[in-house]
Amino acid sequence: MGTGYNCFDTLSHTLNGRVRGTQRANRLRLKRTLNRVGLENYANEWWHFTLRDEPYPTTFFDVPIRRASLR
């Protein structure tokens, strides 16, 4: 993909011109595929997508996570 996940360099921008070949093709494939199912890419992070028709756009959910649920 050209960078690791959560790399905050401009190289992480989805359409950064320095990313070429297979890495660029993989980014574009990911973007196209997720766009088709209703997710929109955040242009500054190739891995970051948001549901286009978010049903609760102004609501933040605080969900407790228990260790047992990770098994």
Answer yes or no: 40 catalytic.
no
Q: Which residues of 27-64 are buried (b: 16+ CB within 10 A; e: fewer)?
A: beebbeebeeeeeebeeebbbebeeeeeeeeeeeeeee
Give first-to-last CA distance, the chain, whole Å. 30
Among 1, 7, 23, 45, which one carries the catalytic annotation? 45
Q: Which residues are catalytically annotated?
A: 45
